[in-house]
Amino acid sequence: MIRGAGVRLVKRRYGGSDVRLAVGGVIVAVASLTMTTVSPVASAGAHRVVYTVWIERATSPAMITYIANEPPSQEALTNDPAAYHEGGYFNLEPGEHWTAEASMDNPTQWAQISIGSNGLAPSLRSHCEIRVDGAVRTTGGTRCELRWWGPPRGPGTL
């Protein structure tokens, strides 16, 4: 264990896992760490978020919508979604990659992209990916997000 030189241990909880860190960024010990698809972005400050979309089949333009501007709260996003979302219809060829970038202080909370096609999202066979500071954080089909945006899940929910 590392001690001295102004290093102190800090215990944090990430996604149900206890992580012990030495202040200054040196990992000292990890206890009961479980792998998840999405890992939290550890440091505060502006993070580079890159959204990528590609399709397998070009049946119609792809409607792509993503959060480009980080809202101050869920309430602000709900009250004025157009202030935070960007996107539109894009003619993509199979295998062609569409990308957009955003800068966010908290991408784990806000990064989200969805793909549709005239209400027929499965017809495109779409794929999406979100990278934060160069690391892939999640992948999906018609929707990619770093947190669950739907109704609550788990015991007692429908």
- Does any domain span residue 38? no
Report the relative pairing of strands 17-22 and 26-31 from DSSP bridges: antiparallel
Do 18 and 66 lie in one domain? The reply is no
Do 23 and 58 lie in one domain? The reply is no
- Does any domain span residue 2? yes
- Is the distance from CB of 7 to CB of 26 less than 8 angstroms? yes
Do 89 and 140 lie in one domain? The reply is yes
Task: Quote the number of domains for the chain.
Answer: 2
CATH of the domain at 112: 2.60.40
pTM of the model: 0.66
Determine the structural domain holding residue 93 and report its residue range: 47-145
Output b/e per residue, 7-42; b: 16+ Cβ within 10 A.
eeeeeeeeeeeebebbeeeeeeeeeeeeeeebbbbe
Q: Can you give the pLDDT at residue 57?
A: 84
- Does any domain span residue 40? no
> 101 pLDDT exceeds 90?
yes
Q: For the segment 45-73, what is each residue's pLDDT rounded down to a tens digit? A: 699 999 999 998 877 888 999 999 999 99
Do 93 and 126 lie in one domain? The reply is yes
Do 67 and 121 lie in one domain? The reply is yes
- Is the distance from CB of 111 to CB of 70 less than 8 angstroms? no
Quick check: helix, strand or coil at residue 41? coil
